[in-house]
Structure 1
Amino acid sequence: MKPPKLLLLAVFAILSSTIYLLASAVVYRLGFPLDDAWIHQTYARNFAYGEGWSFEAGEPSGGATAPLWTFLLSFGYWLGLDPLFWTFLLGIVFFILVGILTSQVFQHISLSMGWLGLFFLFEWHFVWASVSGMETILAIFLVMAVYVLLQRGKIGWGLAAFLAASVWIRPDLISLSVPVLVGVLVNNRTDPQEILKRGFPYILVGISILAYCLFNLKVSEALFPTTFYAKQAEYMELRSLPLLYRIWQQFSIALVGGGVLLIFGFIYQVFNFLKNKSWQGLAWIGWYLSIATLYAMRLPVTYQHGRYMMPALGVYYLIGLEGSIYLYRRLSQNRSIGRTIARAGLLSWVVLVAAFWILGAKAYARDVQVIETQMVETAKWAEDHLPANSRIAVHDIGAMGYFTNHNIIDLAGLINPEVIPFLRDESRLAEYLDQNDVDYLICFPQWYPALTRDLTVIHVADSAVMQEFGEPPMTIFRWGLNRFIR
């Protein structure tokens, strides 16, 4: 791709992300749209300042799901940069790379199709991810990189390196080894010796997985980060919903926005893959379906705009767009009705993408406002007003860990994994808080109705934004000893 086109993609990516940042600044102020981003910041700061891999300085723990992302964030602290600036810069850089990679996918189909990469720079899920402060945009980039390398038949050391890095971003991304394995076999199907030669670089992947497991055993005495276990336990009740309904919930994330009109191209391309026996294409279809099913079975949540599924959305969009191109060409062969339908579909898609890009900016700004008013401001108040030696029980530990120096007990189990077996049992939680001499409880009251009943309220966060959701704001309670939950 020529430099002018690369520059143009970079400009559009920066513009798209900056508009979201401006929206949050206008509505309230700059910040992150979810509390988990502050968890990464806390680990990154402690690591940069020589406190090891810890949430509470000097105490190793496995509460950061994406070690590679956290490591990249730590460079900002080493360089003395503002954490928001460095985090947004990192996110936008990977966002630009996503735009470049996806443009190359469509240039592979036709040189005139490279502009379709702009869709990914205005797809509201991806823009949100680019300025979320989370590893999501890095995961999206990695999936796109693997897709492009397999499309070009480049299955050597570069692809192996991306796959090896994937587990350090998200454990579930190691599933990319399936389409990669298919790529190795498809490109060397008649030569077993060549298959072994091409497969040699993937020793890197095995080494990376082993190192990842040893790292987690070192910091948390488990093979995976504590978040891997805590999140599944927290939302275990959702598994009682019908499986097909849960699977549909995961699939429907891609349909919120311009992706809804790509469903026709996606289905059309599935038939093309089957007809042409495109094993690589079918492997990607299988991967996408498997990821959606995996989350439906183990972590059936769609909050924060479906951020867990966002990396997989890229595959849906790529296949859906590829199929839409071929479908558009086929319909355009009909000079009357077919061409009219094709052009109407294209126009509708562009309008839909633009409309949801705007709606996404509003959603992002509101998300930031909630986190800033409920989590960040509450944490700052606690740091200024609660005794320095206080022990605080918190459900959302991100901002609280970053902005305060209090001893924290994590009700969600990320840094206190011993809570995981009973994190939904309020009676046992009460006993646990008493045993750990907790002084204050900080949470949304509706999350722990029995636990917070009759407790003395010390501080209430700004209630205006929460009134729109019909829920009470973040509250600081004085915890008393020997509580009894009836």
Structure 2
Amino acid sequence: MIVIVASCFYLYKEKTVAGDWGLALDDSWIHMVFSRNLATGHGFSFNPDEPVSGATSPLWVFLMSLVFVLGTSPIWGTKFIGAILFMGSCFFVYRITLDLTSDKYSSFFASVLVALSPYLTWGALSGMETALYTFLSTFGIWVHLKCFRAYGIRRYLPTLIFTLSGLARPECFLLVAFSWIDILIYDLRFRKGAIFTIRSILGYLLHPAIFLVMTAPYFLFNYRTTGSFFPSTFAAKVGSGGLFGALFSGNISAAITTLTVKPLYMLLVSIMVLFKSNPLLVVFFLLGLFVIVKRYASPTAEVLSLILPIATVLYPLGMGVFAHVLSLGQSHRYIHNLFPLFYLISTIGLFSVWRFQTGELVTSKREKRGTTYILGAGALLIVCLLFGKPLFVWIVGLIGPHTALTHLSPRDLEFYWGNLVDSGFGISLMLVVTALSF
């Protein structure tokens, strides 16, 4: 119901501002052209009967082609699909939170935060693939929590769903790897004697086998039409700025930069965006991470998974390695699947405040000593932000020729430094307040 009300308000404002209903970006119309050609028998193409891998989200193109097959309004059909997928994301945020907390109130609260997100509402009604990959990401995480300890075919369901999310947004292929990492961590801790048997090794290899079978048509089509395993949109936006481009060109300096400075930059900017979406949740986000990690350390916990902190922290780092770093797109659409995770983790922290205050969650001397380290890290980060601008300018001047940060003017440097300061002070505040709350 909240999604419907928020969507109606958005559509009202869209009509008021633009004078008519439509789609948000030119990319939305590009997807629609691909979908129309696919539905009318002209193949995966922009110009009819001229195959080209010019759509970053092939799964979204296939899904939208149903709108043309059914003969409904392309604009309203696309918006309807986006709204339904947005509702699905809210539902699975509710289920994930319920599985982790067994508390219906906190689960409802987390889903409401997601439903009220203006960025996600925009994405659902924009005609872009954001609602699809956000839905598949949250659905995949819920399935992962249910199945990562299972035996048999159920253990491979997360790989299947996360691979589909990657076909909706390439960065989501990172979630496939994160799922495997979480499974391996769990097995190393609880199944030490069984992970190096022939049967177990073959079981692990089945994960990448499923991934390759599902993505082979995608990569082969790209190679046939562009001479590269990646779509033309990847070359246009990333080029030699990502890890693959640096390695293929033999540029070791750019590769080192891609593995160090760029991921850190993307992490800070992503955190800044998430914090600005709801500043009141900043402190509770770290508390939520602490609760999840501490629960993992308890052998009596029912859900022993690190997929939430792994995905939230490593996802933007992975984007810095493989993708461009100048921005997160309109309405931060490249990280829309991180917003539900941010709200979910923050909700867990918020509803755990009382347990922190009573000392229930911080019991050992080691944990209390850790709060001192957290406080020190926050203070150190503040000092770096106050006096680190000359170092930032020097680093950008050094790496600029080899990355997507090329040709930045002094005004650009001020803009990006401002982004880093905003995100950095948010992180510092989170660390300091959290440590003091202990």
Residue of structure 1 in register with 2:93 after alignment? 102
For 2:108, the equivalent position in structure 1 comes to: 115
For the pair 1:34 / 2:42, whether they are aligned, the reply is: no
Equivalent residue number for residue 144 of structure 2: 150
Counterparts of residues 55-70 of structure 1 (less than 5 Å): 55-70=46-61
- Secondary structure of the residue aligned to 1:54 is coil
2:191 and 2:240 map into 1 onto residues whose CA distance is: 45
Deviations 1:108-167 (A, max 9, x none): 212432312121111111111111111111111111112112222455243232023123
Paired position in structure 2 for 1:303: 329
Alignment partner, residue 290 of structure 2: 271
Q: 1:317 aligns with which of 301, 322, 343?
A: 343
The change in CA–CA distance for 1:111 and 1:232 in structure 2 (over 3 A counts) is same
Question: Cα deviations across residues 307-333 of structure 1 (Å, max 9, x unaligned)?
Answer: 111112322222222222212553489
Structure 1 partner of 2:171 = 172
| 2:191 alignment partner in structure 1 | 189
Q: TM-score, normalised by structure 1?
A: 0.60
Residue 306 of structure 2 is aligned to residue 286 of structure 1: no
Q: What is the identity, as a one-letter code, of the residue corresponding to 2:341?
A: V
SS for the counterpart of 2:136 is helix
Secondary structure, aligned partner of 2:46: strand
Aligned to 2:5: 15
Is this contact kept in 1: 2:220–2:229, CA < 8 A? yes
- SS across alignment from 1:56: coil
Structure 2 counterparts to residues 211-290 of structure 1, below 5 A = 211-233=217-239, 243=262, 244-258=264-278, 260-278=279-297, 281-290=305-314
Structure 1 window deviating more from structure 2 (142-151 vs 291-300): it is: 291-300
Per-residue deviation at 1:282? 4.1
Q: Any conservation in 1 of the 2:53–2:221 contact (CA below 8 Å)?
A: no
Q: Give SS of 2:53's match.
A: coil
Change beyond 3 A, Cα 1:296–1:36: same
Q: Does 1:127 align with 2:126?
A: no
Which amino acid is 1:225 matched to? P
Shift of residue 233, structure 1, vs aligned partner: 4.2
Helix, strand or coil at the partner of 2:334:
coil
Q: Distance in 2 between matches of 1:56 and 1:201?
A: 38
Q: Does 1:140 align with 2:134?
A: yes
Q: Distance in 1 between matches of 2:284 and 2:324?
A: 28
- The one-letter code matched in structure 1 to 2:118 is W
Change (3 A) 1:232 1:204: same
Partner of 1:384 in structure 2? none
Would the alpha carbon gap of residues 78 and 23 (structure 1) be closer, same or farther in structure 2, given more than 3 Å must change? Answer: same
CA deviation after TM superposition for structure 1 residue 217, in Å: 1.6
**Quick one: distance in 1 between partners of 2:276 and 2:233?**
27
Q: RCO (CA 8 Å, sep 6+): is it higher in 1 or 2?
A: 1
Contact 2:291–2:348 (Cα < 8 Å) also in 1: no
Pair 1:84-2:84 in alignment: no
Contact 1:48 1:78 in 2 (8 A): yes
Using the alignment, how far apart are the partners of 2:112 and 2:345 within structure 1?
15
Retained in 1: the 8 A contact 2:93–2:340? Answer: no
For the structure 1 residues 322 and 224, does the alpha-carbon distance in structure 2 shift closer, same or farther, using more than 3 Å as the test?
same
In terms of fraction of residues, the more helix-rich structure is: 2
One-letter identity of the residue aligned with 1:291 = Y
Residue 82 of structure 1, CA deviation: 0.7
Identity %: 24
Specify the SS of the correspondent of 1:167. Answer: helix
TM score, norm. by length of structure 2: 0.66
Q: How many residues align?
A: 323
Deviation at 1:280, TM superposition (A): 6.0
SS at match of 1:92: helix
In the aligned structure 2, how far is the partner of 1:273 from the partner of 1:111? 15
Kindly tell me: are residues 302 and 25 of structure 1, through their superposed partners in 2, closer, same or farther at Cα, counting changes over 3 Å? same
Listed as ranges, the matches of 1:272-421 within 5 Å are 272-278=291-297, 281-296=305-320, 298-300=323-325, 301-331=327-357
Could you tell me how far apart the structure 2 residues matched to 1:75 and 1:112 are? Answer: 36
- Give the letter aligned to residue 15 of structure 1: V
Aligned to 1:400: none
Aligned-residue offset at 1:91: 0.4
State the 4+ residue runs in structure 1 displaced beyond 6 angstroms.
Answer: none
Change (3 A) 1:280 1:308: farther
Contact 1:45–1:77 under 8 Å retained in 2 = yes
Give the AA of the match of 2:191. Answer: R
Q: Show structure 1 runs of 5+ residues with no match.
A: 1-10, 335-423, 426-486
Tell me how large the CA RMSD over aligned residues is: 3.1
- Give the corresponding residue for 2:41: 50
Deviation at 1:25, TM superposition (A): 1.3
